[in-house]
Amino acid sequence: MVIKSQVLKKGRGRETGFWRQGTPILLSRGFLPLEKLRYFCMMSARNHILDTQIEYLKGIGPKRGELLRKELGIHTFGDLLNQYPFRYVDKTKFHNIRELHPNIGNVQLKGVLRRLSVSGQGRRKRLHGRFRDATGVIDLIWFTGIHWLEKSLVVGKEYVVYGRISAFKDQLNIAHPEMEEVNEENTQKAITFAPVYPSTEKLNSKGVESKARRRMMTALFEKISPADIPENLPQKMVSAFKFPSHFSALKDIHFPKNKSVLEAASRRLKFEELFFLQLRLLQLKLGRKQAVKGYNFEKVGDFFNRFFTEKLPFELTGAQKRVIKEIRRDLGTGIQMNRLLQGDVGSGKTMVALMCMLIALDNGYQTAMMAPTEILAQQHFLSISEYVKGLDIQVEFLSGSVKGKKRKDILERLEAGDIHILVGTHALIEDPVQFKNLGLAITDEQHRFGVAQRAKLWKKNTPYPPHILVMTATPIPRTLALTLYGDLDVSVIDELPPGRKEIQTIHRNEGHRLRVIGMMKEQIKLGRQIYVVYPLIEESETLDLNNLQEGYEALSRDFPKPEYQISVVHGRMKAKDKDYEMQRFVKGETQIMVATTVIEVGVNVPNATMMIIENTERFGLSQLHQLRGRVGRGGEQSYCILMTGYKLSNEGKERIQTMVRTNDGFEIAEADLRLRGPGDIEGTRQSGILDLRIADIAKDGRILQTAREVATRILEEDPKLEQPENNPIRQYLAKNKKLLRGWSRIS
């Protein structure tokens, strides 16, 4: 560290300051002896060492520092410390060449490099090495970095080699092995698991690979001590869970001495990460309940009671009754409701939403219901209008396609309070849309709306924001719900209405195509309708449209006009044409709808009893479940046929077996989370809170649950974290505001 002294004039006295990385730090009035100045500087540096720019670490420098910043977002010592290895290689054992075989995997060898030669030209150029120990010889081969390796490797020297064994023409070899000259450290002291860090091609080509990263971490731990990394959990908690200290856990995650030490460090850091995430979400929830007042819906009146006794088309399930009670309780507290309503396809969320609208109406408030697509919004509008017919309730529809006089009339009546329920797309949140007294705002399939869009709903009324109910038909595993929606109250409809027959799901490949065509003809003969769905992946939209077109042409040969009529719907069609084709199918004018996944959300055709999903292996589990939910909406037996090629990956087989085995959306969501991880589950990417450093929502459910319970208990006993034992938590939260800022509310 460079110390610069400067005399600062202030009044009559003089003050001495010094700079640490460009920041002036006031020391005292008058002058300080140089020894004291150095001591003060050292102590200051110790408090801020993790904020030191990365290029100041031994062995890095400006060029590598810039690379680490650009490629991995590592700016400081602290960033380097907190980027954990993603796997470990066991360097505790040396193998003999004689005992190697192609399936042994990664091995560590000690021997002498006997030969080095280059062969081939251009892209075919490669470097060959011949490596020998006391028991035999093996080939080493490199395809990149040849020029640098030729200069750095020395024939006749003893090396430690690490890499994966493979075979070419019955000859064993190791491609791109790690090479290290034999020394005391890598032979006598090889008692740790070697960490492997995230990297990029650019970093590897510049020599900043795992071995270099390990050297960086060694240099970092030479610079820091336990004093630099204070405990961030109460001592009582550390003792109760038998955790290593915060410093020990960090050191052991980078350089574990053995498997049990690694597991202890991993358990501590996973708990810590999930604990602070849950604590922050619970603080947000608590803070909002204290700060954000809401309209008090004191009564359940005529609209609700008349609908319940005269209009309710079927008896509510126990789950629907429970959820309505939970929402009713929220609406009567005088605090703004923020509740997530989860329910599988066809579980009756719309009916619950309508009955909540009637409570708002009984208390003199309007309701807005926002859906992500015009088709889904129109469907909600039509079903709600039908349900409340004869109750003198004004329901209107608003989307971008509603223009001119009609739009003007709706906006005027809405502001006057003559419209009770407004259903529509994101057009509802545009500035010209003004309510007289919006008391309840409902969003359906809410993950399809951006945070800024949803926030606009909050501003649609004064002095308080409307109560918020967000609905999703995408079942969310409990662990993911606690993370994504940890600051919301969650209601789950986990029961389907009586009389619904379970959809039969069948797996078929191309060899069964004629049998599937026969099943389709049987269903059409019974007066039923059929969906045939093709995948749509943006990167290969042309290919997908070709598949859909070829599929349509094949079906047209099997189902010729005029006996059969087929609709085609895909994402590149104009909205008007798409809607025309959808409506033909809804009205029963066509028996088959060939579509991409645009039908995943929004089409409700009770007469459709068969869903054929082509190229099933290209869909995620949750998406398959959503698509399957388009059938089985009437009283007839329905079928879902999963068509695949002959070859399937193990993951593909497991997905299809899960779909065939169960119709339970929550079980399917758990399996999807386990197979694909949280980042791929629809709607979770935008939240920004799933970029966890070490915890894995799919695998660490028990740790998450414990962390949530502990965080809840602490906040119940000490909401402001003022008790001395909670000092470590409070100080860590204060220091890491930037880290925790992303863990914000979703609704």
Residue 131's identity, in one-letter code, is F
Residue 690 in contact with residue 483, Cβ under 8 Å? Answer: yes
Kindly state the DSSP code that residue 98 receives in the 8-state scheme. Answer: G
Q: Annotate 382-394 with b (16+ C-beta within 10 A) or e (fewer).
A: eebbebbeeeebb
Residue 664 in contact with residue 428, Cβ under 8 Å? Answer: no
- Is residue 461's pLDDT more than 70? yes
Distance of CA 213 to the CA centre of its chain: 28
pLDDT tens digits for range 195-233: 888 888 788 778 788 788 989 999 999 999 999 999 999
Give the pLDDT of residue 8: 39
Please give the mean pLDDT across all residues of the chain.
83
Mean pLDDT computed over 245-256: 95
- Least confident among 31-35, 241-245, 557-561: 31-35
Ranges 134-138, 449-453, 678-682, most confident: 134-138
User: To which H or E segment does residue 211 belong?
Assistant: helix 210-223
Tell the burial category of 512 from Cβ atoms under 10 Å away from its Cβ (0-12, 13-18, 19+). middle
Residue 439 in contact with residue 466, Cβ under 8 Å? Answer: yes
Q: What is the C-alpha separation between 387 and 312, in angstroms, rounded?
A: 8
> Which homologous superfamily is 504-662 in?
P-loop containing nucleotide triphosphate hydrolases (3.40.50.300)
Q: What is the C-alpha separation between 290 and 228, in angstroms, rounded?
A: 36
Matching residue, tokens 């030479």: 222
Across 548-695, the runs of DSSP E, i.e. the strands, are 566-569, 592-595, 608-613, 639-644
Mean pLDDT computed over 310-338: 92
pLDDT tens digits for range 114-141: 999 999 888 788 999 999 999 999 999 9
pLDDT tens digits for range 522-538: 999 999 999 999 886 44
Same fold, 302-493 and 504-662: yes
Token pair for 608: 């459709």
pLDDT bin (cut points 50, 70, 90) of residue 447 is low
The percent of residues in the chain predicted with pLDDT above 90, rounded, is 46
Q: What is the DSSP string of 384-440?
A: HHHHTTTS---EEEE-TT--HHHHHHHHHHHHHT--SEEEESGGGGSTT---SSEEE
Matching residue, tokens 């223009």: 403
Report domain extents, the chain. 1-51, 57-85+196-224, 93-190, 302-493, 504-662
Residue 173 in contact with residue 141, Cβ under 8 Å? Answer: yes
Q: What is the C-alpha separation between 291 and 286, in angstroms, rounded?
A: 9
Q: Annotate 420-429 with b (16+ C-beta within 10 A) or e (fewer).
A: bbbbbbbbbb
Q: What is the C-alpha separation between 373 and 371, in angstroms, rounded?
A: 6
93-190: CATH class: mainly beta
pLDDT bin (cut points 50, 70, 90) of residue 449 is low
Kindly state the DSSP code that residue 278 receives in the 8-state scheme. Answer: H
Q: What is the C-alpha separation between 274 and 253, in angstroms, rounded?
A: 17
CA pseudo-torsion sign 601, 603, 609, 614: negative
| Cα separation values, 426 from 377, 433, 462, 570, Å | 10, 11, 20, 22
- Is residue 21's pLDDT more than 50? no
Ranges 164-173, 184-193, 416-425, 591-600, most confident: 416-425
Specify the pairing of strand 639-644 against strand 23-29.
unpaired
Mean pLDDT computed over 278-295: 85
Residue 100 in contact with residue 107, Cβ under 8 Å? Answer: yes
Q: What is the DSSP string of 486-551?
A: TTSEEEEE--PPTTPPPPEEEEEEGGGHHHHHHHHHHHHHTT-EEEEE----GGGHHHHHHHHHHH
Residue 361 in contact with residue 420, Cβ under 8 Å? Answer: yes
Q: In angstroms, what is the C-alpha Rg of the chain? A: 32
Give the pLDDT of residue 291: 79
Judged by DSSP in three states, 618 sits in: helix
Q: What is the C-alpha separation between 485 and 743, in angstroms, rounded?
A: 10
Tell the burial category of 211 from Cβ atoms under 10 Å away from its Cβ (0-12, 13-18, 19+). middle
User: To which H or E segment does residue 338 belong?
Assistant: strand 338-343
Mean pLDDT computed over 639-667: 90
Mean pLDDT computed over 422-449: 85
| C-alpha distance across the termini of the chain, in Å | 47
Tell the burial category of 8 from Cβ atoms under 10 Å away from its Cβ (0-12, 13-18, 19+). exposed
Determine the longest span between alpha carbons in the chain, in angstroms: 103
- Is residue 545's pLDDT more than 70? no
- Of 29 and 122, the one with more pLDDT: 122
Architecture in CATH of 302-493: 3-Layer(aba) Sandwich (3.40)
